[in-house]
Amino acid sequence: MASLKEVRSRITSVNSTQQITKAMKMVAAAKLRRAQDAIIQMRPYAKKLSEMLATVSAGAETAAESPFKQVRSVEKVLIVTVTSDRGLCGAFNSNIAKAANLLINEKYATQAAKGNVEILALGKKGGEAFQRRGFNVNTTYMDVYTRLSFGVVKEAAESIMADFEAGKYDAVEVVFNEFKNVATQIIRTEQFLPIVADETASQNVSASGANYVFEPSEEQIVQDLIPKTLKIQLYRAVLESNASEHGARMTAMDKATDNAQELLKALRLEYNRSRQAAITKEILEIVGGAEALSQG
């Protein structure tokens, strides 16, 4: 059984830890509100823009000529992992690493064996995880969350699009956490490039027989709309991940606080037992001493 001093020291330590986890939970909750508002406002815009692109692409011949819709034999692959910069958020980051590994092993195993799979890390934890695994990791935008804005994500998207257009990559996949609620994040793996044709939109356009009037021109609209949609798509993934991170951290710190409380109960019980044992021992020693003196 531990001494009273050791148990007291452990109780003090757990108390301090509990105060820290409570504070971190409150900070995460405050950040979550802002991040949740940002993604809720972004989703309708991103969805409408994607629907517009699908509709215009389905009815426009020039859309098929876009360099971002060119389907090539897949030799070189870029996996964009969207993680956080910090830990203490449960399995948030490890789930992304597992999903990306699963994607590579199931879909791009041949390319990985040749060393033709590159990781673009948006967030430090993803970059560090894949560097330890020996992957070629692009860390240019690893600190995206230190100055999170559309401008920064736009730069990353433009860089990816330029590399794809130049033939550096034949396929680009994005792996991120989609925010559902505070306790639930859904792993998403989306093909970023090449753009996959929306068959439903094509059927809808054909069935409706709609005749669109393009201003200034069909080609110009498609050329402007496709890059803008891709940038918004990546920005949405980052905002989803940002909200998911704070939700995951809030949940993790809440559980840590509860666990600390349970541990405190156990330690206080152990302390009381040790204290009672020490008092009983002292009483027995006093009684034994008194008896010895009386007999003497």
Same domain, 154 and 279: no
Residues 268 and 195 reside in one and the same domain: no
The CATH number linked to 258 is 1.10.287
Q: Collect contacts of 18-23 with beta carbons under 8 A, ≥24 apart.
A: 18/257, 18/260, 18/261, 18/264, 21/253, 21/256, 21/257, 21/260, 22/253, 22/257
Residues 66 and 10 in one domain: no
pLDDT confidence band for 282 (50 / 70 / 90): confident
**100-120: per-residue pLDDT in tens?**
999 999 999 999 999 999 999
Does position 202 have pLDDT exceeding 60, yes or no? no
Domain that holds residue 15: 4-19+254-295
Average the pLDDT over 83-98 and give the result. 94
**Is the residue at 207 inside a domain?**
no
Q: What are phi and psi of 271, to 5 degrees?
A: -65, -45
CATH for 31:
3.40.1380.10
Domain match, 132 and 264 both? no
- pLDDT of amino acid 62: 55
Residues designated as active site: 89
Residues 128 and 12 in one domain: no
pLDDT tens for residues 238-259?
999 999 999 999 999 999 999 9
**Sheet of 136-138, strand order:** 136-138, 117-122, 77-82, 171-181, 184-193
Q: Give backbone dihedrals phi and psi of 279, rounded to 5 degrees, phi first.
A: -65, -45
Tokens (6 digits) for 250: 């809030």
Alpha carbons 123 and 185: distance in angstroms, whole number: 17
The predicted-structure confidence for 68-87, as pLDDT tens digits, reads as follows 888 899 999 999 999 999 99
- Whole-number pLDDT of residue 50: 81
